[in-house]
Structure 1
């Protein structure tokens, strides 16, 4: 962790004021760097999926982080274990930007952002209340860990148009699904390097690649090379599990001059 990020219990953000909750959304949690809330569409579908979003409004000059910030920073996390009739929550991430603040590179956002969340109602048709423990980082020159619990009663105002529009906008900002024309191809690497070839429409110089560590994988910032029109990213593997995990793989986002796509890479 770089020296300019100061994490301590004494700097954990405190609730400065609590505004009344709008229908099907939580109250805003106010911190030094901005404010945070949960908003939902208010009604799950027949399968028990409830669309929502974690909204972060940043003050000018502040920033927050992607699912894998890099060698410093606090990724947003959401735990719904204290909820009633909520079996789980899956958060999605808009395309990040790569920043270099002079101490190191990090992946995240220097503007307000919303992370779509799909909540799973365990027993559709029964009362459900979301009590979400939220943690994330808001940083200026020092980083303040924001920790709070946000509560939503989805049945309270299930037809609130403003809340539904906020969720719709968060979903619309997500990267598209990767394709053969806009996506990556995994290349043979070695035990210490993940290598991919990027396929991007538009200006190749605008391409950037973000991969999120998971299941004990940790990555450094990618190194880019251009060879005969091919864009290749080499990502140092800083740590890895002793046994290759099973399952889908590692989330990645590829950005370019025409937009962004996301997909999943096999474990290297």
Structure 2
């Protein structure tokens, strides 16, 4: 389901465990949209643009990718970066006829630094995006992005984008970029490689995972709607099953109905949703 667009955060960000340095963020108005992908917005540590390919389909959905180019040594966040990170977000101008959007995330890695452990990407990454239009013939879409990037400190990176889906729908470079981003998404879970149960006990989220025999050092990443969750830690492991515990920043209200998760290990990964036990 495509999520309704939410309000973008301001550039001032306070985190529990990390010091965020506010730098000069290159977030000035972009030039008027004249291409099917936006120009690069640059900042200390990296650059961002929104790439689209083709036209909206019969359901009004346009495929694209939020391309995050990182300089060596810089990192960015996954869907749920823990209690102190900034996950990527988009906001579309009110006149853009955008009903909603969804950002997808390829498998992240565990990042351990002086501030703790969190989920993210240590190299440049393209996040697949689906944008749903109420009017598929809409032109000159404008909006903004907001995310965090880190080196020795973490900084908020905010900027604006503009594009026209009909300007270059057959652009080969853009199509390769977008198709490549979607191709890197993890497949759906399958029997023997999936989360099988998830339950809340106060602020603790306990997740049981089935993994293939011989899979070394499986890593679990979880996202709970509406509440930050720390990186799950291995609690117990026995033949074919691993139990993790993730600590939430607070008891979620209202109680979520499901979690999103990714399991990685030995170059393999799966991603999916799992209903929370009552």
TM over 0.5: yes
Partner of 1:206: 217
Q: Which runs of 5+ in 2 are unaligned?
A: 1-14
Partner of 1:70: 82
Distance 1:203 1:258 in 2: 13
1:110 to 113, 122, 136: 122
Given that residues 85 and 128 in structure 1 are in contact (C-alpha distance below 8 angstroms), is that contact kept between their aligned partners in structure 2?
no
Shift of 1:2: 5.8
Given that residues 34 and 140 in structure 2 are in contact (C-alpha distance below 8 angstroms), is that contact kept between their aligned partners in structure 1?
no
1:127-159 C-alpha deviation (Å, 9 max, x unpaired): 333212100111111222111111111110111
Aligned pair count?
261
What secondary structure, in the 3-state scheme, does the structure 1 residue paired with 2:26 have? Answer: coil
1:257 to 256, 263, 266: 266
Partner of 1:141: 152
Shift of 1:188: 5.4
Cα 1:83–1:37 shift into 2, 3 Å:
farther
Distance 1:89 1:188 in 2: 28
1:192 to 203, 226, 248: 203
Q: Which runs of 5+ in 1 are unaligned?
A: none
Q: TM-score, normalised by structure 2?
A: 0.85
* Further displaced range: 81-90 or 149-158: 81-90
Distance 1:92 1:185 in 2: 22
Distance 1:187 1:123 in 2: 39
Partner of 1:6: 20
Distance 1:144 1:44 in 2: 34
Distance 1:110 1:202 in 2: 28
Cα 1:197–1:226 shift into 2, 3 Å:
same
Partner of 1:220: 230
Partner of 1:30: 42
1:32-71 equivalence runs, <5 A: 32-71=44-83
1:100 to 100, 104, 112: 112
Given that residues 102 and 129 in structure 2 are in contact (C-alpha distance below 8 angstroms), is that contact kept between their aligned partners in structure 1?
yes
Given that residues 53 and 167 in structure 1 are in contact (C-alpha distance below 8 angstroms), is that contact kept between their aligned partners in structure 2?
yes
What secondary structure, in the 3-state scheme, does the structure 1 residue paired with 2:80 have? Answer: strand
Distance 2:170 2:115 in 1: 47
Partner of 2:4: none
